[in-house]
Structure 1
Amino acid sequence: MVTLTSIGTSPGITTTAVALAVEWPKPVLLVEADISKPSSVIAGYMQCQISGKRGLSTLAEISAMSSVDRESILGSCVPLTSTGEDEGTENLLLPAISNPEAGHGITTMWGELAEELTAFEASGYDVIVDLGRWTGSKDRRIALAERSDVMLYGLQPTFSALAALDYGKKSIEPLRDAVGRGDSSSAVLYQPAVGGSSTREVKKFLNMGISGEIPFAPKQAAVFSQGEPSSKRMIMRDSYMSAIRALRAKIFKDLDKTRELIQEESDAG
């Protein structure tokens, strides 16, 4: 399970999550766990080609009556395609809660969902979680951050964003350290149109690795944020897509490392 979030700012987490899912070489489930707004994937990448009736709202209703399991999660998903139709894709989307006000009142579902998602690999799926903006130590979605095999913090390299992340990650990282996941947390830099600190300065300030650098490329990013059409040349050669693929490669490397550690712990036990 790979989770992306931002603290204090919104640099493009959902766009990156969609791009990674579309480019993922294995079947993948994209969980839109941002509770600040209705599904921006359906409204953006899918251009409202389907309704937002299914998704985390469905799971919240199930959780209130019984418990969340693999079947209920899959039954709440839609195909992750620009049209929202099943075009043979094995990629799925679990859309965001349709009523953000109700989302803030959900409690038990997040823990149940995290537990089930960590076991999805056995069903042939990797999981990408879009947490959107992290709201602090009282954020009820903490189980998703705590149990993720790879945790990515997105930010622009500005002083305000660096300060926000340095403070905000203190509500997440101690919990990840306690379960042996702290070593797989890192940052993703979103380059601003102008200015910004260097990668070296960011790494030193945060005392955290950098897993990727996303260039400022509004036209290319709009393919995944707004469903804009793309050419084959752009998909194959564009610098934005090169950055997404480089980030994907780094994630896979970190996942392999995590699997090795888990196997070592299992053998030792």
Structure 2
Amino acid sequence: MSVIALVSGKSSGVTCSALALTLSSPKSSLLVEADPAGGTVRAGFLGGEGSAKHGLHRLAAADRQGTLAREFSQHFVSLDHKSSGQRLLLPGLTDPTQAPALGLTWTQISRLLGVMDETGYDVIVDAGRVVTASETRLSTTHYPTPLLHRADVVLMVVRTTQASITAAAPVVRVVREELAHHGTGADALGLLLIEEGSYNSSQVQQYLQIPVLGMLAWDPHTADVLTHGAYKKMPKTLLNSARSAHQTIKEHVNKRRVRLNPVGTQMITGRAS
């Protein structure tokens, strides 16, 4: 499957977009709320269900105790109110001040997410608003940068408005540099556009100089359900567009995997046939 990280230059609907991709994935999926500002899905979409005993904020202590690998999946909760395990959530931090404690744990978490990928899950990482350390580096103490390093694709979520596009431009440059020198390559970076404004995909792509890999419909009603609660009637406009976005994202992931590991890809293809 694939590991897909979502980021933004400014608040642009990253969590809502990540949740839409998770719920619309054609495969089993895991949403990781890695936003250092804290998680909102449990209090919002899940209507406050679940216990604070589970979540990302518990994993730093597990890592220090050497039990992270064993306890990791114990912190998943269901997104579809079933026990099928098809739609899972790793709830985020309950307090932004917890973020620095995970600085040394993100790399281990990224490896465990790779295992989830290998076992057939689409892993969607909500990394929230980018936190930089310099003009060319992302923060490694206040941001889940190692998750971006190992992701198959990093999607910059941008609304098709002038304000959102302008805010994204300087962040795109930093993330591109980070992935080029410390990740799997600058071509891991792409755009996930929310069709709110008047600019089309070609215009945004030309301005930001990275490819558009997906488009999400501007659907305030569904966004409200994803943000504030799952117990309302939810139309499918946003989820249908997210399902279509999966196709183009997956094509990009497959091309990159072939380029980065042609021998391994050929072996997998040979076994499948």
Query: TM-score w.r.t. structure 1 length?
Result: 0.85
In the other structure, the counterpart of 1:260 is 258
Amino acid of the structure 2 residue aligned with 1:256: N
Aligned length: 255
Q: Is the CA contact (8 Å cut-off) linking 2:19 and 2:226 kept in structure 1?
A: yes
Deviation of 1:160 (Å): 3.7
For residues 98 and 159 of structure 2, what CA distance do their matches in structure 1 show? 30
- 1:135 equivalent among 97, 114, 131: 131
Amino acid of the structure 2 residue aligned with 1:28: S
In the other structure, the counterpart of 2:147 is 144
Task: Kindly provide the CA deviation profile for residues 105-129 of structure 1, in whole angstroms up to 9, marking residues without a partner as x.
Answer: 4310111111221232222322110
Deviation of 1:228 (Å): 4.4
Q: Is the CA contact (8 Å cut-off) linking 1:142 and 1:172 kept in structure 2?
A: no
Task: Kindly provide the CA deviation profile for residues 144-180 of structure 1, in whole angstroms up to 9, marking residues without a partner as x.
Answer: 1111101100012334433332211333222322443
Correspondences of 1:112-191 after superposition (within 5 Å): 112-136=108-132, 137-138=138-139, 139-178=142-181, 179-191=183-195
Deviation of 1:267 (Å): 7.9
- In structure 1, the gaps of 5 or more residues are none
Query: TM-score w.r.t. structure 2 length?
Result: 0.84
1:197–1:43: structure 2 CA closer, same or farther, 3 Å change rule?
same
Q: Helix, strand or coil for the counterpart of 2:31?
A: strand
**1:46 lines up with 2:50 in the alignment:** no
1:191–1:118: structure 2 CA closer, same or farther, 3 Å change rule?
same
Deviation of 1:132 (Å): 1.1
Task: Kindly provide the CA deviation profile for residues 51-93 of structure 1, in whole angstroms up to 9, marking residues without a partner as x.
Answer: 2320111111112332632x32211111122xxx434242211
**1:93 lines up with 2:89 in the alignment:** yes
Q: Is the CA contact (8 Å cut-off) linking 1:145 and 1:172 kept in structure 2?
A: no
Deviation of 1:101 (Å): 1.0
- In structure 2, the gaps of 5 or more residues are 133-137, 267-273
Query: Which deviates more, 159-168 or 109-118?
Result: 159-168
Q: Is the CA contact (8 Å cut-off) linking 2:150 and 2:184 kept in structure 1?
A: no
Deviation of 1:265 (Å): 5.5
Q: Helix, strand or coil for the counterpart of 1:41?
A: coil
Please report the RMSD computed on the Cα atoms of aligned residues, expressed in angstroms. Answer: 2.2
In the other structure, the counterpart of 2:76 is 77
Q: Is the CA contact (8 Å cut-off) linking 1:53 and 1:98 kept in structure 2?
A: no
Amino acid of the structure 2 residue aligned with 1:63: D
For residues 125 and 190 of structure 1, what CA distance do their matches in structure 2 show? 25
Query: Which deviates more, 12-21 or 168-177?
Result: 168-177
Amino acid of the structure 2 residue aligned with 1:211: L
User: Percent same amino acid at aligned positions?
Assistant: 25
Amino acid of the structure 1 residue aligned with 2:184: G
Amino acid of the structure 1 residue aligned with 2:4: V
Q: Which contiguous aligned blocks of 4+ residues in structure 1 show a shift greater than 4 angstroms? A: 265-268
Q: Helix, strand or coil for the counterpart of 2:156?
A: strand
